[in-house]
Structure 1
Amino acid sequence: MVNAAFEQIKAFAATADDSDRRNLITSLRGLASSFEDPMEIIHRLGCGTLGSATVEIGLDLGLFKYLADAKSPLGVSQLAEQTGADAPLLTRIIRYLAATNVIDETGPGQFAANSVTKTLASDLGVAGVYHYLKTASPTHSVLPSFLKKTNYKNPSDDSHAPFQDAFNTGLHPYAWFSSHPENLKYFNDLMALRRKSNESWLSVYPVEEATKGWSADNAVYVNIGGSIGHQCAQFKETYPHVPGRVILQDLAHSIAQALPTAGVENMVHNFWDPQPVQGAKLYYMRAVLHNHPDHKVLKLLRLTKEAMGPDSILLIDEMILPETGVKADVTTLDLTMMSAFASAERTEKDWTALFEQAGLRLVKTYAYNKAQYESVMDVRLLEG
């Protein structure tokens, strides 16, 4: 009976879209938790850091890459020879990884890669897990003491968040990254690799309709804080005939590494300074505002508003959390943003309130990645 139910679930998962697949995972995890006895619950919650520690050991040894590249299961002695680890120690580590479904045990002393192993062997897996282990996890670990010390107030000062306690620094995380190139590399690699190419605001927003009749001499698209220009490159590729200037803005170190995209103007600009491009059609920010607490979000919105003309549109590309039933990975990201930047992931009610305080109004929301709550918000002048 159990096997039959399991096969039905597998058959459903094989044809489910991303949203249904994620809902299924949430339901199954909840079901599994409901079956646990008290000691199983205590063990799972109390030993979570052990799982992270053993995965880091596996990454350091190259264990997952060896298993993923192998044509057939490998024995402990083979893995010990490849990794240079002591065989008795490796046996204990691998036994735990198999018990937690990170790798598959195929027979006595024989192990093979599964989907988790293959992810951990990929460039995305390496960058993502190392970023969380080496940068995010330390901020998580000090969260209890930080909140106790601050009398459990919601953090709002990005110069004094758990991040500063975790790394014993007075620097903002982005300033700290500049002197920690390994951490910065993992972060940048994760940001570059994590997004699927078909998940973009350009797939849902009516760009041609919004820019119809726009003058070729005026700025049509300004990507504020656009890093090295992936979004500008996508805009030009998707809408090569839309008239107007396409402008990438970021700090000098990012602009120095900007993609050589034909038709894109690269402009050094600190977005805490007044916006130099006046009256553009589309001002666009992707995952910029979630890095900042409310008072700084308001400052950035107001600076952009001052540059907007009566026909301008501010496009805010962010997560919009539902009021209930938020997925576990997104709640993790919310608390990670709080720990690093005293910032947050926000609901539509939160966003609307911020826009109104800045003298703006939310006209319409276009969801393009519902499983991850990613949407682009069409925001305009309040009096428009």
Structure 2
Amino acid sequence: MAEMGAIRMFMKMKAFDKIPLGGSISYDDLAASLGAEVPLITRMAWMMVATGFLRQIGEDRVAHSRLSELYASGNAQGVFFQIMFDEAMVPWVQWPQFFDKYGLKEPKLGNHNPHSFAWGDPDKNFWEVISKYPERLVDFNQSMNTLDEVLPVTGMYDFSWIAKAEGPEDRPLIVDVGGGKGQALKRIMAAFPEIPAKRLVLEDRAPVIEEVIQANERGFEDVQKIPHDFFMPNPVKGALVYYIRRCMHDWSDENDRIILSHLADAMAPDSRILITEQIMPNPPTALNAWTDLCMMNLGGKERTEKMFDALTASAGLKMVGVHKSLATDVAVIECVKA
């Protein structure tokens, strides 16, 4: 814990940037470059020297290790550590106070969760809190985009039937609900080019959709782009497929029930909902459990297949298929109206 605190402070001060690659710097010069007291910088550095994270040269100079170099500005590994410290560790260490205040029960709201409580804004949700810190928001979004790129979109579910579906030519074929800037939709389009772009719909919050419209990316121009809050009734009625990827785990059962109920209300009798999420085994792996507790900080949760079955049923849906990835815990859960 002490080492993590020292690393986070060095990142905040950009102290790792001041240590020359392939060289060393005196504690005096490092402190002066940061506008800090020498004893403070020395004591923090000594913690990292003791663990091997930094190297000390003689008695008064410090140098990088191969690991610490990755924590200078702009390195993905350092950014991920910073995100985990700020958005996970800070809330975790305040769990005792949080559960004393709110009781021994799962966080059920977008606000009044461990994250908003720890950062002093209990009435706000995660996005409202982190938006007050622009640098953290940029780092978080970049890190999540990187993670998103390595998680599968295609290869689990065969979308090819969608292009062959009969019906009116103006019927939307896929509505990507909460689809961000269309990252997943673009991968579906690339894998299944026979699905007409003009019959695809991207939905997300108004600022996100405006960014997509302004970007006017080639090959994505014909996709319909609609601002939408998925806690409100869906404006696109009777689409063939409503696709929602990596959104369910951000929210509690109560909130997800609202999201799915609105989709169920928008469905035609032959519509499908495709939910792409990580499915936890029971018992979970250490990584599954860790991810779940990260999500609990935000008022969300990871779920087992049985949990998804109960959740979808509570929203008037029936699970008819679980299409799993061979390489990850990610799966596509296929639902129809019950």
Q: TM-score, normalised by structure 1?
A: 0.74
Aligned residues between the structures: 326
Query: How far 1:79 sits from its partner (Å)?
Result: 9.9
Structure with more helix by fraction: 1
Aligned to 1:336: 294
**Distance in 2, Cα, partners of 1:101 & 1:314:** 50
Query: How far 1:280 sits from its partner (Å)?
Result: 1.6
**Distance in 2, Cα, partners of 1:200 & 1:265:** 24
Does the aligned pair in 1 maintain the 2:109–2:255 contact within 8 Å?
Answer: no
Query: How far 1:347 sits from its partner (Å)?
Result: 1.0
Aligned to 2:47: 96
Which amino acid counterpart does residue 204 of structure 2 have in structure 1? D
**Distance in 2, Cα, partners of 1:180 & 1:325:** 33
Higher mean displacement: 279-288 or 152-161:
152-161
Q: How does 1:37-116 map to 2 (within 5 A)?
A: 48=1, 50-65=2-17, 70=21, 72=22, 74-77=23-26, 80=29, 84=33, 90=41, 92-103=43-54, 105=55, 111-115=63-67
Question: Of residues 322, 334, 338 in structure 2, which corresponds to 1:378?
Answer: 334
**Distance in 1, Cα, partners of 2:322 & 2:71:** 33
**Distance in 1, Cα, partners of 2:51 & 2:240:** 52
User: Could you say what secondary structure the match of 2:230 adopts?
Assistant: coil
Q: C-alpha deviations, 1:214-249, integer Å up to 9, x for none?
A: 555221111111122222222223322213611111
1:152 corresponds to 2:108: no
Which amino acid counterpart does residue 332 of structure 1 have in structure 2? W
Aligned to 1:250: 204
Structure 1 pair 93/262, CA: closer, same or farther in 2 (3 Å)? same
Question: Of residues 272, 278, 281 in structure 2, which corresponds to 1:313?
Answer: 272
**Distance in 2, Cα, partners of 1:89 & 1:250:** 46
Does the aligned pair in 1 maintain the 2:202–2:226 contact within 8 Å?
Answer: yes
Question: Of residues 353, 356, 359 in structure 1, which corresponds to 2:316?
Answer: 359
Does the aligned pair in 1 maintain the 2:162–2:195 contact within 8 Å?
Answer: no
User: Could you say what secondary structure the match of 1:241 adopts?
Assistant: coil
1:195 corresponds to 2:148: yes
Structure 1 pair 87/142, CA: closer, same or farther in 2 (3 Å)? closer
% identical aligned pairs: 24
Query: How far 1:319 sits from its partner (Å)?
Result: 1.4
Aligned to 1:300: 259
Q: C-alpha deviations, 1:182-211, integer Å up to 9, x for none?
A: 3322322222223344x3221322111344
Structure 1 pair 161/178, CA: closer, same or farther in 2 (3 Å)? same
User: Could you say what secondary structure the match of 1:299 adopts?
Assistant: helix
Task: In structure 2, list runs of 5 or more residues that go unmatched.
Answer: none
Task: In structure 1, list runs of 5 or more residues that go unmatched.
Answer: 1-47
Question: Of residues 224, 240, 251 in structure 1, which corresponds to 2:193?
Answer: 240
Higher mean displacement: 315-324 or 94-103:
94-103
What is the RMSD computed on CA atoms of the aligned residues? 3.0
Q: TM-score, normalised by structure 2?
A: 0.83
Query: How far 1:350 sits from its partner (Å)?
Result: 0.6
Query: How far 1:346 sits from its partner (Å)?
Result: 0.9
**Distance in 2, Cα, partners of 1:131 & 1:184:** 9
**Distance in 1, Cα, partners of 2:256 & 2:284:** 26
Q: C-alpha deviations, 1:75-133, integer Å up to 9, x for none?
A: 24399459825666555444432443535x49756744425642665443343333333
Which amino acid counterpart does residue 264 of structure 1 have in structure 2? V
**Distance in 1, Cα, partners of 2:313 & 2:42:** 59
Q: How does 1:215-294 map to 2 (within 5 A)?
A: 216-243=169-196, 245-258=199-212, 259-260=215-216, 261-294=220-253
Question: Of residues 80, 89, 104 in structure 2, which corresponds to 1:128?
Answer: 80
Structure 1 pair 231/65, CA: closer, same or farther in 2 (3 Å)? farther
Aligned to 2:283: 324
**Distance in 2, Cα, partners of 1:309 & 1:211:** 17
**Distance in 2, Cα, partners of 1:62 & 1:168:** 25
Does the aligned pair in 2 maintain the 1:334–1:344 contact within 8 Å?
Answer: yes
